[in-house]
């Protein structure tokens, strides 16, 4: 497992076999244990209690990392887990050379505080859900990539070089996690040839 950590605590980890995860400090609230003022003072106590429980159960470093950091994990070939302001599982199922179905599920714990569940679900709908800020943007990017791939005769490459010339380990906003995926794809396609 190749793990890279930069000075800000952000890291990208190549998990091997096309799998990768990026981890970074969260600027937003996390219903698991990171309170933000927009949630109101009445939510602070329950979130602080959860935070203390994480530290008690997993130790200070690991507990605070769970509370503070967000993660986006790619599991080759078609699964993405977003552990950010809500936990979302996304699958990508190819249906044709130029079409795929994307499904997304929001996850929460069975014994979740009802007020925190409302916050988590609101975060999911507002940002990660089908009408949220991120998902329609991601879908549009995927569709534009597909339109670009139709021009493979004229430009038979895809530029995912952000971060390649950097000296030192990759950062969480580099494209190394995509290169992990495509290295595995190439390895499997070459083995089949």
pLDDT at 72: 93
Provide mean pLDDT across the span 138-156. 78
Spatial distance between the Cα atoms of 107 and 79, rounded to a whole number of angstroms: 15
Task: Say whether pLDDT at 154 is over 60.
Answer: yes
In this prediction, residue 9 has a pLDDT band, given cuts at 50, 70 and 90, of low
Query: How many whole angstroms from its chain centre is CA 137?
Result: 14
Q: What is the pTM of this model?
A: 0.82
β-pair partners for 79: 75, 91
Higher-confidence residue of 104 and 142: namely 104
Domains along the chain?
2-184 (3.90.380.10)
Q: Alpha-carbon distance 93 to 102, whole Å? A: 6
**Quick check: helix, strand or coil at residue 8?**
coil
H-state helical runs in the chain? 41-58, 60-68, 114-123, 134-149, 176-192
Three-state SS at 84: coil
Instruction: Look at residue 160 and tell me whether its pLDDT is greater than 60.
Output: yes
């Amino acid at each position: 497992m190749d793990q890279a950590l930069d000075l800000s605590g952000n890291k990208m980890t190549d998990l091997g076999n096309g799998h990768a995860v990026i981890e970074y400090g969260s600027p937003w609230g996390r219903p698991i244990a990171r309170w933000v003022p927009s949630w109101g003072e009445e939510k602070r106590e329950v979130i602080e209690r959860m935070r203390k429980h994480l530290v008690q159960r997993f130790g200070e470093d690991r507990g605070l990392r769970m509370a503070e950091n967000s993660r986006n994990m790619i599991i080759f070939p078609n699964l993405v887990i977003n552990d950010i302001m809500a936990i979302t599982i996304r699958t990508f199922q190819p249906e044709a050379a130029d079409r795929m179905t994307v499904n997304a599920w929001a996850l929460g714990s069975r014994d979740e505080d009802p007020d925190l569940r409302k916050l988590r679900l609101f975060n999911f709908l507002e940002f990660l859900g089908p009408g949220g800020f991120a998902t329609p943007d991601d879908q549009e990017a995927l569709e534009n990539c597909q339109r670009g791939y139709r021009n493979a005769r004229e430009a038979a490459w895809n530029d995912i070089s952000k971060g390649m010339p950097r000296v030192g380990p990759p950062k969480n906003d580099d494209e190394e996690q995509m290169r992990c995926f495509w290295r595995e794809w190439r390895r499997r396609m070459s083995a089949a040839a």
